[in-house]
Amino acid sequence: MRIDELQTPALIVEQSVVRANLDAMSAALPGDRLRPHVKAHKCTSLARLQADNGHRGFTCATIREVETMAAAGLGEDLLLANEVLDTRRLGRLVDAGHRVTVAVDSTETVQAAVDGGVREVIVDVNVGMPRCGIAPEKAGALADVARRAGLTVRGVMGYEGHLMLVGDEAERREHAERAMALLLSASADVGGDLISGGGTGTYAVNTWVDEIQAGSYALMDTAYQQVGLPFGQALFVLGRVISASSDWCVADVGIKALSLDHGNPAIDDAAVWFCSDEHITFAPEHRLAVGDHVRVIPAHIDPTVALHERMYLVDGDDVVDEWPVDMRGW
């Protein structure tokens, strides 16, 4: 199939770029140094390529992601890096022989792990961002509660998400060092043999954790492009110009086809004015005609992918494969 036969809007992934991104990250963080986060692509076909590159463990954000990874035969070591109150579906996976570890940051989430039949947990530590995670000085006591409840505590995780987009690399490293000092102090109290953290923005500067939980690097977005990382833009939302005036064009890629939470998307050689439900209005440098195709680059990859049922793998103008976004939903 040719790319211009696709119904728009459609997610397209440039095959050579995604492969280069995966290889660049695997060269920097081989094997168990990387625990790829699947929330960024929600696609087991892509996760399989990451596994083929030598990464055995994966990070997930939802129960659905854990279940789908296990069903795809990728359930050797799944870390749900998120707090969960109803863990029954996870307990069923554990009973079926999959290794599932869940994040805890309270006695309630520890009890939930016990109740649902999950046997392994990781203590989620607040490393400076107002999200989930227990205060570092309380982490050891929570690990004791978990062990007394019969759980195995694998170690600690801490996500320094507030640092991912710090523009200057040296500054990002300094901030990461401070954040990770909190994680290491918690680790000393918690014990276990795993220290997990990091993401695409800090993969090269966070040298304190055992494994990095990066996900966005595979497909990329304009937010991460600004940070100057060695990963190329692999994913686009393909659209078509449905209306054109002398000063601007309208294409069929609106906010129901991409997420704007990190700002407007970009189109090469064009100024994007705004997006509405089903439209993107933009001023191209060179005149476009109704029917022309445009590649819209999202500002935030994860919530964009989650809006689509499939992505098409392309090689230039040829569609070479179709990957279901099979981990979407809950």
User: Which residues contact ligand PLP by CB under 6 A?
Assistant: 37, 40, 59, 81, 159, 161, 164, 199-201, 213-217
d(C-alpha 197, C-alpha 210), whole Å:
8
Taking each helix axis as running N to C, give the angle between helix 139-148 and helix 169-190, from 0 to 180 degrees, rounded to the nearest 10. Answer: 40
> What 8-state DSSP symbol labels residue 286?
S
d(C-alpha 68, C-alpha 269), whole Å:
39
Taking CB under 5 A as the rule, does residue 120 contact Mn ion?
A: no
Q: Which does 213 bind (CB under 5 to 8 A by kind): ligand PLP, Mn ion, none?
A: ligand PLP
Q: Pick from 302, 304, 314, 326: which binds Mn ion (CB under 5 A)?
A: 302
Nearer to ligand PLP, 252 or 302 (CB): 302
Could you tell me where the beta strands, DSSP code E, fall in the chain?
Answer: 10-14, 57-60, 77-83, 100-104, 120-124, 152-158, 194-197, 211-212, 235-244, 249-251, 266-267, 270-275, 280-284, 293-297, 310-315, 318-324
User: Which two tokens mark 292?
Assistant: 């022309």
d(C-alpha 95, C-alpha 239), whole Å:
45
Give the shortest CB-252-to-ligand PLP separation in angstroms. Answer: 27
Nearer to ligand PLP, 217 or 312 (CB): 217
Inter-residue contact 110 to 104 (CB < 8 Å): yes
Nearer to Mn ion, 42 or 175 (CB): 42
Q: Which does 45 bind (CB under 5 to 8 A by kind): Mn ion, ligand PLP, none?
A: none
Give the shortest CB-265-to-Mn ion separation in angstroms. Answer: 15
Stretch that binds Mn ion, among 133-141, 265-273, 282-290, 302-310 (CB under 5 A): 302-310
d(C-alpha 133, C-alpha 255), whole Å:
31
Give the shortest CB-302-to-ligand PLP separation in angstroms. Answer: 7
Nearer to ligand PLP, 240 or 308 (CB): 308
Give the shortest CB-278-to-Mn ion separation in angstroms. Answer: 24
3-state SS, residue 268: coil
Residues in touch with Mn ion (CB under 5 A): 302
